[in-house]
A and B are shown apart, each in its own frame.
Chain A
Amino acid sequence: MDLIEKVESLISLMNENNLAEIEIEEESTKIRLKKNDLSSMPANIQLSSSFQEPLQEGSTKYFPAKKSENNTDIVAPMVGTFYDSAPGAAEPYVSIGDVVEEETVVCIIEAMKIMNEVKAEARGKVVDILVDNGAAIEYGQALFIVEMQGGG
Chain B
Amino acid sequence: MKFLDPEWHDKLSSTNTVLLDWLKSREKIPPGFVLAALEQTAGHGRYNRHWISKAGRDLTFSFVLSTSNVLEELASLTQAVALGTAAALDTFGFLTQTKWPNDLLVRGRKIGGILSEQSDVQYNDGKAIVVGVGINVNMQDMEPITLIKTATSIRIETGRKYAIKDVLNTILEMLPQWIDRWEEGGFPAIREDWIARCVSVGESVTVGDGTERQSGILAGFGDKGQLLLRVKDGVLREVWAGDVEL
B185 proximal to A (CB < 8 A): no
B71:A116 contact, CB within 8 angstroms: yes
Q: Select which of B17, B71, B209 is within 8 A of A88 by beta carbon.
A: B17
B101:A113 contact, CB within 8 angstroms: yes
Q: Select which of A88, A105, A111 is within 8 A of B241 by beta carbon.
A: A111
For B135-168 the 0/1 string (1 means CB < 8 A from A) is 0000000000000000000000000000000000
B72 proximity list for chain A (CB < 8 A) = 78-79, 111
How many whole Å from A118's CB to the nearest CB in chain B?
A: 8
A87 proximal to B (CB < 8 A): yes
Q: Select which of B44, B75, B225, B238 is within 8 A of A87 by beta carbon.
A: B44
Closest to A139 in B: B72
Interface hub of A87, A105, A112, A117 (most chain B Cβ within 10 A): A112
B71:A111 contact, CB within 8 angstroms: yes
Alpha-carbon distance between A116 and B115 when the two chains are bound, in angstroms: 11
Inter-chain CB contacts under 8 Å: number: 88
A136:B116 contact, CB within 8 angstroms: no
A111:B115 contact, CB within 8 angstroms: no
Q: Select which of B16, B50, B120, B226 is within 8 A of A112 by beta carbon.
A: B226
Measured CB to CB, the residues of A under 8 A from B are 77-81, 83, 87-88, 103, 105, 109-119, 134-136
Closest to A88 in B: B44
Q: Select which of A77, A80, A119, A134 is within 8 A of B211 by beta carbon.
A: A134
Q: Select which of B42, B116, B120, B226 is within 8 A of A114 by beta carbon.
A: B116
Closest to B101 in A: A112
B120:A110 contact, CB within 8 angstroms: no
Q: Beyond A88-B47, A117-B117, A134-B211, list 5 extra A-B contacts (CB 8 Å).
A: A110-B46, A112-B241, A113-B78, A116-B71, A119-B120
How many whole Å from A84's CB to the nearest CB in chain B?
A: 11
A111 proximity list for chain B (CB < 8 A) = 71-72, 75, 240-241
B225 proximity list for chain A (CB < 8 A) = 112
Query: Please, could you name 10 A-B residue pairs with CB atoms under 8 Å apart, sorted by A?
Result: A81-B209, A87-B117, A88-B48, A111-B71, A111-B75, A111-B241, A114-B116, A114-B117, A118-B120, A119-B120
Given contacts A79-B240, A87-B47, A88-B44, contact A115 B211 (CB under 8 A): no
Closest to B117 in A: A115
